[in-house]
């Protein structure tokens, strides 16, 4: 009779647990590092890219590097402050300093108040591009988004601007009822340059649409001369580029949550993960079960294709591509565009595809501004650009292919990429 003694598998199981525990810890650490690097990288791309609208280091059509170079050639020092930290590191502006702000709409309430306190003694503040909440700057003015025109004469007399000066008129302009304000380059009721007088609560503020400052238009009409006289009239220029991720933390604010809670939560996560790996059991092999019916994948795909064809999904796909293109162009050109409204309408089950394809609604002010900016940047025929971004949508697969190719070519032309 032969007796077989079973061999214990406890050491092997213990070793497996320690291996899985080590793997879990490594995965968590790597994940934290990757998230940190991705966050830093995305913040850098979103805030420090010279392709951002009106960026003083931007050499593209929407940047202002050419203007900064010309101002520097005129003997005026231009200091670029990026983010709230760069603003704090720079010397406080005095009366001989002009402070320029690119895309002031990126300032949140905390950073806006910090900025105003920091530049309270400046001689002039120039807000370029989308201004955000003008009332928060102590300015009684309203931004108007309209159509761009080729040239508008000043029609005003003030320091640095003559009545005969002519500049390009961008899609962003301003109106005001504040006494003492000087409106220049007015088309209709809105002006692309608005000079608000200094008050006890703030310095003189100049609102500029920004179209005359960018590299693509600086050499047209009197754009360069007016821009230089508006910005380089003092001995020093501090060009502030806000960051969307900037935050102001007040030392006076107290928190009811102890500071040790954060590390304790992180430690608890590691403990729970370790317990899961230690006590958890691995799943065995998959078990197949007989199904009532087996449907081949190709049959499912063909059925969905017929359903999409009957639902005219071609037109819906084209509408989605157009919304994505408008969103990307608006972000690159620094123009406002909210795609949520169009996406909500597109998602409705009773969306009238045939009516939309045959009788498109006229584009709204935001889409019209994007069309005008694209025409100015590319030199294309306005009717051709309007047909792509606001006119009839394709309703066949061949037309969808052509439509997608033309949208891609338009975006590349605006971005000046091959």
236-245, 288-297, 368-377, range with the lowest pLDDT: 288-297
pLDDT at 46: 44
> Which range is most confident: 34-48, 110-124, 136-150?
110-124
How high is the mean pLDDT of the chain? 77
Answer whether residue 160 is part of any domain.
yes
DSSP 8-state code for residue 302: H
pLDDT at 44: 47
Burial of 362 (0-12, 13-18, 19+ CB in 10 A): exposed
196 phi and psi, to 5 degrees? -100, 125
pLDDT band at 310 (very low <50, low <70, confident <90, very high): low
pLDDT at 2: 43
Answer whether residue 8 is part of any domain.
no
245 or 87, which is more confident? Answer: 87
CA–CA dist 388, 375 (Å, integer): 12
CA–CA dist 327, 319 (Å, integer): 12
The answer on 40 and 93 residing in a single domain is: no
Answer whether residue 277 is part of any domain.
no
The pair of three-digit structure tokens given for residue 138, joined into one six-digit string: 């102590």
Boundary residue ending a domain (197, 216, 241): 241
pLDDT(96) > 50: yes
123 or 31, which is more confident? Answer: 123
Radius of gyration of the chain (CA): 30
The answer on 80 and 205 residing in a single domain is: yes
pLDDT at 136: 85
The answer on 184 and 139 residing in a single domain is: yes
The DSSP bridge partners found for residue 77 are 236
Question: What's the 3-state SS for 29-40?
Answer: HHHHHHHHHHHH
The answer on 119 and 29 residing in a single domain is: no
pLDDT in tens, 329-358: 888 888 888 877 776 666 665 555 444 545
The answer on 223 and 127 residing in a single domain is: yes
pLDDT(126) > 90: yes
User: Residue 182: which domain range?
Assistant: 65-241
CATH code of the domain covering residue 122: 3.40.50
Domain count, the chain: 3
The answer on 175 and 124 residing in a single domain is: yes
Q: Would you give the end-to-end CA distance of the chain in angstroms?
A: 84
The answer on 330 and 236 residing in a single domain is: no
32 or 345, which is more confident? Answer: 345
The count of C-alpha atoms lying within 13 angstroms of the C-alpha of 259, restricted to the half-sphere facing its C-beta, is 1
74-83, 245-254, 270-279, 312-321, range with the lowest pLDDT: 245-254
pLDDT at 359: 54
């Amino acid at each position: 009779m032969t007796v077989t003694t079973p061999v214990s598998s406890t050491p092997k199981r213990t070793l497996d647990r320690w291996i899985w525990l080590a793997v879990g810890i490594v995965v968590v650490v790597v994940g934290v590092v990757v998230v940190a690097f991705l966050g830093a990288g995305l913040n850098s791309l979103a805030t420090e890219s010279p392709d951002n609208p009106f960026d003083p280091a931007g050499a593209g059509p929407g940047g202002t590097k050419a203007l900064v170079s010309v101002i520097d050639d005129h003997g005026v020092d231009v200091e670029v402050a990026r983010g709230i930290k760069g603003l704090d590191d720079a010397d406080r502006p005095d009366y001989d300093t002009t402070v320029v702000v690119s895309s002031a709409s990126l300032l949140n309430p905390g950073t806006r108040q910090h900025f105003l306190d920091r530049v309270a003694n400046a001689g002039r503040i120039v807000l370029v591009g989308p201004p955000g909440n003008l009332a928060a700057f102590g300015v009684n003015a309203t931004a108007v988004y309209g159509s761009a025109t080729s040239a508008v004469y000043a029609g005003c007399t003030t320091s640095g601007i003559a009545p005969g000066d002519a500049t390009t008129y961008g899609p962003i302009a301003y109106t005001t009822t504040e006494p003492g304000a000087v409106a220049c380059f007015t088309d209709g009721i809105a002006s692309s340059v608005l000079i608000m007088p200094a008050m006890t609560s703030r310095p003189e503020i100049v609102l500029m649409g920004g179209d005359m400052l960018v590299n693509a238009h600086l050499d047209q009409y009197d754009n360069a001369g007016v821009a230089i006289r508006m910005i380089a009239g003092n001995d020093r220029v501090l060009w502030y580029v806000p960051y969307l991720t900037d935050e102001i933390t007040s030392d006076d604010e107290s928190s009811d949550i102890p500071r040790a809670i954060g590390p304790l939560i992180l430690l608890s996560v590691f403990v729970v993960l370790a317990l899961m790996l230690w006590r958890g059991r691995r799943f065995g092999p998959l078990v197949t079960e007989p199904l009532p019916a087996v449907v081949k994948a190709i049959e499912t795909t063909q059925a969905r294709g017929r359903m999409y064809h009957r639902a005219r999904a071609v037109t819906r796909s084209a509408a989605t591509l157009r919304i994505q293109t408008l969103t990307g162009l608006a972000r690159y050109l620094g123009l406002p565009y909210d795609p949520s409204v169009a996406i909500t309408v597109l998602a409705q089950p009773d969306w009238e595809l045939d009516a939309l394809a045959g009788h498109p609604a006229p584009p709204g002010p935001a889409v019209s501004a994007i069309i005008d900016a694209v025409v100015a940047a590319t030199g294309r025929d306005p009717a051709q650009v309007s047909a792509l971004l606001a006119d009839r949508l394709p309703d066949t697969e061949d037309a969808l292919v052509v439509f997608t190719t033309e949208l891609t070519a338009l975006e590349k032309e605006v971005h000046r990429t091959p």
